[in-house]
Amino acid sequence: MNLLSPKTIEERVIMLLQGGSMTAGDILAKIKKDRPKTTKQALYSALRKMKVEEIVAIHGKLISLSHVWVVKMAEIFNSAKRIYAREVISDDGFLNLEEGDKIVYNFKSAESTDIFWGHAFALLAHATNSKVPLILYNPHEWFFLARKDSERLLFDEIKNIPRQIFLITDHNDPLDKQTAREFDGKMSQYHMLSENQFPKENYYLNIFDDLIIEVWLDEKVAEKIDQFYKANKTIDENNLAELRRIVKERGRNKMKISRNKKRAEKLRAKFEKYFYKIDTKKTII
């Protein structure tokens, strides 16, 4: 089951019912926007199956997610969250790094890099001091285009800690400017510069206290991403598909997680001046 990118009728029903009870007619109308060939018979068949499996409850004309199923799913995900949080401080975990230590990972595509990157990012954001804002440097924040659902979930999770996110990019192309709408200006802040902060376009940086994530995307892929931003002023289905193809391309991608207090402080000072801190204890998310 893939609820982040629902494809089956059952997955789409679950995603729709997250927002509250609906009638079968309303569910069908919503599904048909993405799957115009979906029939009433197919929907009712899926709903009958989901009722037997206690995923949905049907009361009169309204259909809801079953409370029993919701509680079971919450227990599963909360348990997984606790276990993975413990793993991060195990003998070979990120937080067990001593000053000067590092762990290096290699990936075959920018997309597969980002999947693990998001996992590591969330764990470190929860495990480190939430009073210290997270600093992100991306040449282009393409994640909100090519992997928007995953990026939105990640940012919302960090804001709900609550913890501030400061993201800086050294480009101001039209698509870079468009990304500003994804930031609220308080808990998540976005700043564009007009000159390169590092020698190469394939370098990405995250700072968590004295822990640092550094990523080097494949140089050819990074160049294609930059060309995409130069060539497109708006995003649509066609060029979005092109960008997603680019980040799936095979190449040499590397991630390094290290603990280096002096370097982290120096990098933080370099970028933090563009943002403002707030008291997150007083912030209502």
Domains along the sequence of the chain with CATH: 9-70 (1.10.10.10), 94-282 (3.30.870)
Calculate mean pLDDT across residues 206-218. Answer: 96
- Banded pLDDT at 34 (limits 50, 70, 90): confident
CA dihedral sign, ordered 176, 182, 183, 187: negative
Please compute the mean of the pLDDT values over residues 239-261 and round it to a whole number: 95
Q: Has residue 91 got a pLDDT over 90?
A: no
pLDDT at 273: 94
Scan for tokens 């004295």, then name that residue.
210
pLDDT of residue 284: 47
Q: State the average pLDDT for the chain.
A: 89
pLDDT of residue 195: 87
Q: Which pairs with CB-CB distance under 8 Å and at least 24 residues apart come from 125-129?
A: 125/157, 125/158, 125/161, 125/163, 125/208, 126/85, 126/161, 127/85, 127/88, 127/89, 127/94, 127/95, 128/95, 128/208, 128/209, 128/211, 129/209
Alpha-carbon span 262 to 95, nearest angstrom: 17
Residue 53 pLDDT > 70:
yes
